[in-house]
């Protein structure tokens, strides 16, 4: 208000001074030489004030007023969560946030699929190794004089047999398969969990990362709870039938429960607990690389036209 009063006063006063100068030098007014010099000096001063101060003061006032309506200057270390979300346009109407949510939901299910398939591949490797060792052991038993009827019943097998200087069963080989498969199969899921938040941040910015965290947290938590409950139910169903209920062992119900337990064990022991780690990992990676996303995200997105 003060700036507007000063600017208006200078403008009105300048108009009077300029008109007086025009009247004096234009011949409309009779004045002495001393008066003409004074009027000329005032006219020069009026031009300077009107151009440099009055108009600049008015423009600065308008700029501050309009800027105050649109935004407020807040130091980053003092900004509230609401102000940060508003600054980075983290709303559901932002396509980048919505895309991040979809990617977060898909990430949880892709991670589950990778871990379930990893368990299946490791189980097949273990099964093939056991079949190989059983075949070698049966040949050794037959060479030692055991009949086919005795060999058909594993309860008649000796606890160990030596073939070509190697002892069977070789439990160490099975342990090696389990350990190597666990480490090898988790390489890609780990890379996926670490790289996706960084890639999404560089392509979709802060809004995309926030959406990724929201989608990953909600879907990951729900799916993890579901897998823990469903896997435990399938496992206990098999034990319940084996206790003598619904026909007991060997019945059709027992065969179905074995299939359910085959899926339920990796549900409750692998994919379910791994989702909890996924949720924590994407959150930690997002926090650690927040500076990278803020500084270089706009550059990468601009280069790709996003």
Q: What is the DSSP string of the chain?
A: -HHHHHHHHHHHHHHHHHHHHHHHHHTSS---HHHHHHHHHHHHHHHHIIIIIIHHHHHHHHHHHHHHHH-----GGG--HHHHHHHTT-STTSHHHHHHHHHHHHHHHHHHHHHHHHHHHHHHHHHHHHHHHHHHHHHHHHHTT--HHHHHSGGGS-S-EEETTEEES-HHHHHHHHHHHHHHHTHHHHHHHHHHHHHHHHHHHHHHHHHHHHHHHHHHHHHHHHHHHHHHHHHHHHHHHHTTGGG-TTSHHHHHHHHHHHHHHHIIIIIHHHHHHHHHHHHHHHHHTHHHHHHHHHHHHHHHT-
Q: In this prediction, what percent of the chain has a pLDDT beyond 70?
A: 73
At residue 163, does pLDDT exceed 50?
A: yes
Predicted confidence at residue 146, as pLDDT, reads 86
Q: What is the pLDDT of residues 200-254, one digit of tens each?
A: 999 998 999 999 999 999 999 999 999 999 999 998 999 999 888 888 888 899 9
Confidence of residue 153 (pLDDT cuts 50, 70, 90): confident
Other Cβ atoms closer than 10 A to 43: 19
Confidence of residue 198 (pLDDT cuts 50, 70, 90): very high
pLDDT, mean over the chain:
79
- Between CA 212 and CA 297 the distance in angstroms is 15
Look at the chain and count its residues. Answer: 306
Comparing 230 with 32, the larger pLDDT belongs to 230
Q: What is the pLDDT of residues 266-306, one digit of tens each?
A: 998 889 999 999 999 999 999 999 889 888 888 888 888 87
Confidence of residue 74 (pLDDT cuts 50, 70, 90): low
Predicted confidence at residue 33, as pLDDT, reads 52
Comparing 30 with 181, the larger pLDDT belongs to 181
Comparing 87 with 179, the larger pLDDT belongs to 179
Tokens of 55: 């108009």
Predicted confidence at residue 35, as pLDDT, reads 52
- Note whether 201 and 104 are within 8 A (CB): no
pTM above 0.85, yes or no: no
């Amino acid at each position: 208000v003060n700036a507007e009063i000063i600017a208006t006063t200078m403008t009105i006063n300048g108009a009077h001074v300029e008109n007086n100068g025009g009247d004096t030098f234009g011949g409309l007014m009779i004045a002495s030489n001393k008066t003409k010099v004074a009027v000329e000096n005032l006219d020069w001063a009026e031009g300077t004030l009107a151009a440099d101060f009055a108009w600049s003061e008015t423009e600065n006032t308008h700029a501050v007023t309009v800027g105050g309506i649109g935004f407020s200057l807040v130091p980053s270390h003092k900004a509230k969560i609401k102000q940060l979300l508003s600054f980075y346009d983290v709303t559901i109407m932002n396509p980048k946030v919505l895309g991040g949510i979809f990617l977060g939901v898909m990430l949880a299910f892709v991670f589950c699929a990778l871990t379930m398939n990893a368990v299946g591949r490791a189980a097949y490797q273990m099964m093939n190794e056991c079949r190989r060792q059983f075949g070698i052991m049966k040949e050794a038993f037959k060479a030692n004089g055991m009949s086919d009827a005795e060999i058909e019943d594993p309860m008649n097998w000796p606890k160990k047999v030596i073939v070509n200087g190697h002892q069977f069963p070789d439990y160490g080989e099975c342990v090696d398969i389990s350990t190597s498969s666990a480490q090898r199969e988790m390489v890609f899921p780990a890379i996926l969990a670490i790289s996706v938040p960084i890639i999404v941040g560089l392509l979709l910015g802060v809004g995309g990362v926030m959406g990724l965290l929201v989608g990953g947290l909600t879907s990951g938590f729900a799916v993890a709870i579901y897998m823990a409950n469903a896997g435990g139910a399938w496992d206990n169903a098999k034990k319940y039938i084996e206790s003598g209920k619904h026909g007991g062992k060997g019945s059709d119900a027992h065969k179905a429960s074995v299939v359910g337990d085959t899926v339920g064990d990796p549900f409750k022991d692998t994919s379910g607990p791994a989702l909890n780690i996924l949720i924590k990992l994407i959150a930690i990676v997002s926090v650690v690389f927040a500076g990278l996303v803020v500084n270089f995200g706009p550059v990468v997105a601009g280069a790709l036209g996003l």
